[in-house]
Amino acid sequence: MEGNRSKPLLRVPSPSLYDFTFQELTDWVVDQGQPPYRARQVFRSLYRNPPVRIPEMSDLPKEFRKLLSDSFPQEGPASVQTQRSSDGTVKHLSRLSDGQFLETVLIPSGTRQTCSEPSRRTVCVSTQVGCAYSCAFCASGQLGLKRDLTAGEIVQQILLVQRVTNVVFMGMGEPLANYENLLKAIRILNAPEGLKIGARRITISTVGLVPMIERLAKENLQVELSVSLHAPNDELRGKLMPVNRKYPLSELIPAAKAYSRATKRMITFEYILIDGVNDGEGEARQLRKLLQGLLCKVNLIPCHPTPGTPWKHPPLSRMISFEKLLRLKGIPCTLRRSRGLDIEGACGQLRLRYNQ
Ligand code: SAH
């Protein structure tokens, strides 16, 4: 099974309260001989923004606080550095309990200030330390996979940031290769007793792990799915993304279609435009053909510079022509503005600078 491929390579950190769904916490509280309403009290404190630490949970009896601290001594990720981009993007670097580092990026959208559509605050969350998939253009894969993040470590990244409206699993790692922890984290984020972030405000981005997309379709969760496509044919995609040799387009596209049918959600395809590599008229036409009849949209992303690769994005005029060619056949398409480039917080730039 694909999910086993990314077995943690290092010791799994001891459990934290952030690993618990509300139901699991209730079961644990009852097992300790406490009334079930204590679970609600604890959960509320954990997901207050900023979160309340165990010693400050003043609505709990002292002995119960001691029991909590003794049972869950782990502190969780500690923020060690915050960098702000001139465009408002903020990158947080945290140290995990085993000394690994992870990055989380807040991307505010300053443009939607009306009452009906308040401005978004999207947090871009990592699911693994490093990545096993070695996409040729991406910095995260350059050092390989270090380990999976626990559900609690995934969830706690959202708490680094206040007033989150949307969550995208587009940070370091391949979310669907850490399937169990990812799903658990989503259930914790959804919980009405906690952060109440609806599934439709959550996006999972994947390199295209077909069996896991099929599994996700059966979960009865309405999360958005984003597929990193980056090439319209197997030959080119296989060069840019080695995973394509295992799951070619003839399997990936039907899996995306089935996901869209099962969840009634529109699929997003991410397509990095790389100068002279995948940005020609021929590729635009192939892409159009490939996606015909699919409920989808395409996000065109200018390729960001990554250390160790020669690639850059095409001139703006070519990116606009590519976008027009797709639109011509009615494929909804946006040319994304790059955010956070000056702090290396843009897509593909989250790198394990500290994890060498
Ligand atoms: N592993 C998942 C989640 C990471 S998402 C996935 O690949 O979808 C990271 C997003 O940033 C993906 O769409 C990825 O393709 C994109 N990306 C990676 N390197 C990039 C680069 N150099 N320039 C622009 N986008 C890049």
Q: How confident is the model over 141-183, as pLDDT tens digits? A: 787 999 999 999 999 999 998 889 999 999 999 999 999 999 9
> Which CATH class, in words, describes the domain spanning 17-71?
mainly alpha
Q: State the alpha helices, DSSP H only, in the chain.
A: 22-31, 37-46, 62-71, 151-158, 179-190, 210-217, 234-240, 249-263, 281-290, 316-328
Task: Give the separation between CA 346 and CA 325, rounded to whole angstroms.
Answer: 26
Tens of pLDDT, residue by residue, the chain (356 residues)? 444 444 445 556 678 999 999 999 999 999 999 999 999 999 999 999 889 999 999 999 999 999 999 999 877 788 899 999 888 899 999 999 888 999 899 998 854 444 455 689 999 999 999 999 999 999 887 879 999 999 999 999 999 988 899 999 999 999 999 999 999 999 999 999 999 999 999 999 999 999 999 999 999 899 999 999 999 999 999 999 999 999 999 999 999 999 999 999 999 999 999 999 999 999 999 999 999 989 999 999 999 888 888 899 999 999 999 999 999 878 999 998 766 666 666 655 665 455 43
CA–CA separation, 257 and 227 (whole Å): 11
Q: Residue 99: count other Cβ atoms within 10 Å of its Cβ.
A: 9
CA angle 57, 63, 66 (to 5 degrees): 65
Which atom in ligand 1 lies closest to the alpha carbon of residue 139? 19
Residue minimizing CA distance to atom 11 of ligand 1: 347
Determine the atom of ligand 1 nearest the C-alpha atom of 230: 15
CATH for 78-343 (3.20.20.70, 3.30.870.10, 3.40.50.300, 3.90.230.10): 3.20.20.70
Atom of ligand 1 nearest to the CA of 299: 13
Using CA atoms, how far apart are residues 197 and 326, in angstroms rounded to an integer? 33
Nearest CA, atom 7, ligand 1: 207
Indicate the domain borders of the chain. 17-71, 78-343
Contact 172, 127 (CB under 8 A): yes
Model's pTM, two decimal places? Answer: 0.91
**Bridge partners for 78 per DSSP:** 95
Rg (CA), the chain: 21
How far is the C-alpha of 42 from the C-alpha of 330, rounded, in Å? 50
Q: Best substitution site from 272, 341, 349 to test ligand 1's pocket, by max atoms within 8 Å of Cβ?
A: 272
